[in-house]
């Protein structure tokens, strides 16, 4: 004779096991997806230029104890980028604005918003000088 109550109980227990296994598999897949998403999100870099009102970017190269070009003309709001192509570091200075060390193969950018003439140079060699005209 078949015990129907026992059989119903066993079927109910098997369904519970299957649902538990399904829930665990879904949780693992969701965890892997979230971890993957956050790893990819941390690798994305948002450029700072997006947040500054800038018209364009001008570049000044530093190498062989000179600036190239040594004089540039920009509009208010434009950004100037210095690139150190030399094998040693330089301490770049724009009086009353900034003083920063630029390592070899490194860059530094700065926006100039007010009109005027800005002189720049490096501490290591007073003969290396340049001029930015903002007009």
Task: Please state the domain extents for the chain.
Answer: 1-44, 50-134
Query: In this predicted structure, what is the pLDDT of residue 36?
Result: 81
Contact 124, 91 (CB under 8 A): yes
DSSP the chain: ---HHHHHHHHHHHHHHHHHHHHHHHHHHHHHHHHHHHHHHHH----GGGGS--S-EEEEEEETTEEESSEEEE-TTEEEEEEE-SSS-EEEEETTTEEEEE-TT-EEEEEE-S-EEEEEEESS-TT-EEEEEE-
Is the predicted pLDDT of residue 47 greater than 60, yes or no?
no
Query: In this predicted structure, what is the pLDDT of residue 126?
Result: 87
Over residues 97-103, the mean pLDDT reads: 93
- Confidence category of residue 45, pLDDT binned at 50, 70, 90: low
Nearest residue to 62 via CA among 98, 93, 96, 102:
102
> Distance between CA atoms of 71 and 84, rounded to whole angstroms?
16
Over residues 40-48, the mean pLDDT reads: 60
Over residues 29-56, the mean pLDDT reads: 66
Which CATH number is 50-134's, of 2.60.40.420, 1.20.1560.10, 3.30.360.10, 3.40.50.300? 2.60.40.420
pTM above 0.75, yes or no: no
Query: In this predicted structure, what is the pLDDT of residue 123?
Result: 92
Two tokens, residue 79: 């950004």
* Residues 53-99 pLDDT 10s: 444 568 999 988 899 999 999 999 899 999 999 999 999 999 989 99
């Amino acid at each position: 004779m078949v015990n129907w109550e026992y059989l119903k109980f066993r079927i109910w227990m098997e369904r519970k096991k299957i649902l538990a296994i399904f829930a665990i598999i879904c949780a693992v897949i969701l965890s892997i997806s979230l971890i993957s998403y956050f790893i990819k999100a941390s690798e994305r870099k948002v450029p700072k230029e997006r947040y500054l009102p800038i018209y364009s970017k001008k570049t000044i190269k530093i190498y062989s104890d000179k600036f190239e070009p040594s004089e540039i003309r920009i509009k208010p709001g434009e950004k100037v980028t210095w690139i150190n192509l030399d094998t040693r570091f330089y301490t770049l200075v724009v009086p009353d604005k900034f003083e920063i060390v630029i390592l070899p193969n490194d860059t530094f950018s700065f926006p100039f918003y007010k009109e005027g003439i800005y002189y720049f140079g490096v501490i290591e060699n007073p003969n290396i000088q340049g001029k930015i005209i903002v007009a």
